[in-house]
Chains A and B, each alone.
Chain A
Amino acid sequence: MEENTKPMTAPETEEEYFINMGPQHPSTHGVLRLLVSLQGEIVKRLDPHLGYIHRGIEKMCEKDTYIQIIHLTDRMDYLSAHMNNEAVCLLVEDALEIEVPERVKYIRTIMAELQRLNSHQLWWATMGMDLGALTTFFYGLRDREKILDIFEETCGGRLLLSYNTPGGVMYDIHPNFQKRVKEFIKYFKERLPEYDQLLTGNVIFQERTKGIGRLTREEAVNYGVTGPSGRGSGFSCDIRKKFPYSAYPYVDFKEILGVDGDALSRYKVRMEEMWESMHIIEQLIDNIPEGPYTAKMKAVLKLPAGEYFQRVETARGELGVYVISDGNKTPYRMKFRSPNMCNLSALDHISRGAKIADLVAIGASFDFVIPDIDR
């Protein structure tokens, strides 16, 4: 069937009507406005309207130094703050050809995986809540709190860490860090099966997600849907495997791929990824090498003229940072390839024909963070 791609201006038939989902709808997890065309309760098509939290980060970057930019990247995908920081730092280090100490690589990877766990916990909590299982919200946030406490002890911040700096990390890890991380892993290994008991096997949950929002592998590639959402469709897109950075080359972990490409498949990929994240942390936590926590850096960083691209895997997919430098201390043009925006572009296609309540399940399974779309 030929898809209707005309701009949504007015309803075309008498049965069709438009409603706005958002920008203040709780299940859009932020200020996303979806203009939805409905026939009865069937979604005919939808059109995302963005910009409610557009801060012009790319414009601001053109005035800021690279060290200042790191603090802006926290505020894009705030649940992957550490990975966003890391992307900019890796790009600067690559451009200036700085070799970071081994200790930094280990710390960064452990922090990134803790951040991924924390993000997936919050996703699980809110996905259950969106589908009417309020208990999950309390379970998820209870366990997430423990990771935030670990972050607070070492980084000072809980949500927006700004812990990475070009060449290393801001401070050395807290003396308690290793002990607390190991305690947390032990604790969470007992809790994660509870998550499965509570939600995964639940009949209502299965009915609401199985076969809903099906995305094939080809479509995922074509739309550029990455991260757990893309891997749920079987698109092997893990940057940690494809272009390993930091300490990922040293660890053994599986890339989880789904088969069905529906909301349940995306859900299962994230659940499995939590086990993999813990597995990665376990391999690194006892082996953090001694040494400095930052390389010797100049006070003013000037990237040689040229173009640089850095890709990292955030909790939601592939983040790309693209810099055109003219040799000054500020970038000439900085572009963030935001994973959420690419994931959002597939939403119209896969929610056609679904019920309006399924749209909530599909949105939850994609795990959107709106500030990352708007930037």
Chain B
Amino acid sequence: MDNTNIKEFVARHIPEATFEENKQFLSATVEPSKLHGLLKALKENPETLFDYLFCITGADVQGKLMVIYHLESTTLKHQVVVKTGTPDRENPVFDSITDLFSGAELHENEIFDLFGIIFKGHPNLRRMFMPDDWKGYPLRKDYTDEVNIVELS
């Protein structure tokens, strides 16, 4: 499937999805509530078969907490990027996709640890790198730490 077909496929499932294309990937941005359904469809539909999730990234872009999924099909060799984000910084909740992709478990733990995004349905959500009693989420852009981060210049 080429990018146009994948775009049609995603638009058929989620009509309000927005698309972007750069020279590497087609990316689709969807609402957090639609994400799990879309990834399930992308993984299980015989036309798409996106079975290999090669990267999950958390990001804090323009005040929005985002999660970015990079998917590839090992049989059909196509790739797609799915993005989702929320402006809610107090209680950002996304659906966990560990039931679809087992490898997502540690990635989601990492994103919870560094961005404070809660994944509903994750079997064991906990601080992965930072100490359990750490305050704040270090990779958020508004994170400040007067003790450990010294600003030069």
Contacts and interface: CB of A to CB of B under 8 A. Distances in A.
Interface residues of B, number: 35
B128 A51 contact: yes
Contact of B129 (A8, A50, A344): A50
A99 interface: no
A341 B108 CA distance: 12
A307 B106 contact: no
A335 interface: yes
B138 A59 contact: yes
B139 A51 contact: no
B61 interface: yes
B54 A318 contact: yes
Contact of B102 (A59, A335, A337, A349): A349
Interface stretch (A198-206, A220-228, A292-300): A220-228
Interface in A1-17: 5-8
B103 A223 contact: yes
Contacts of A219: 102
B109 to A, nearest CB: 9
Contacts of B10: none
Interface in A222-270: 222-225, 235-237
A309 B139 contact: no
A47 interface: yes
A113 interface: no
A337 B59 contact: no
Contact of B59 (A51, A309, A324): A324
B25 A309 contact: yes
A59 B139 contact: yes
Contacts of A284: none
Given A221-B74, A333-B59, A374 B103 contact: no
B31 interface: no
Contact of A307 (B22, B54, B127, B139): B22
B70 A320 contact: yes
B95 interface: no
A320 B74 contact: no
A346 B74 contact: no
Interface string B50-91: 011111011111000000101000100000000000000000
Nearest to A308: B24
A76 B92 CA distance: 30
B105 A345 contact: yes
A210 interface: no
B60 A333 contact: yes
Nearest to A310: B24
Given A56-B138, A335-B55, A345 B103 contact: yes
Interface residues of A, number: 41
A51 B102 contact: no
Contacts of B131: 51
Nearest to B123: A5
Interface string B130-152: 11000000110000000000000
A54 B103 CA distance: 20
Interface string B20-49: 001011010000000000000000000000
A342 interface: yes
A235 B74 CA distance: 9
B22 A306 contact: yes
A58 interface: yes
A92 to B, nearest CB: 14
B52 A224 contact: yes
Contacts of B127: 51
B54 A337 contact: yes
A223 B102 contact: yes
B124 interface: yes
Interface of A: 5-8, 47-48, 50-51, 54, 56, 58-59, 219, 221-225, 235-237, 306-309, 311, 318, 320, 322, 324, 332-333, 335, 337, 341-342, 344-346, 349, 374
8 contacts: A6-B123, A54-B129, A59-B138, A322-B70, A324-B61, A333-B57, A333-B60, A346-B103
4 shortest interchain CB distances as A-B pairs: A224-B103, A5-B123, A51-B129, A54-B129
Given A48-B106, A224-B53, 19 more contacts: A6-B124, A7-B123, A7-B126, A47-B124, A50-B129, A51-B128, A51-B131, A54-B129, A56-B138, A59-B139, A221-B51, A223-B102, A237-B74, A308-B24, A322-B57, A333-B139, A335-B55, A341-B110, A345-B106
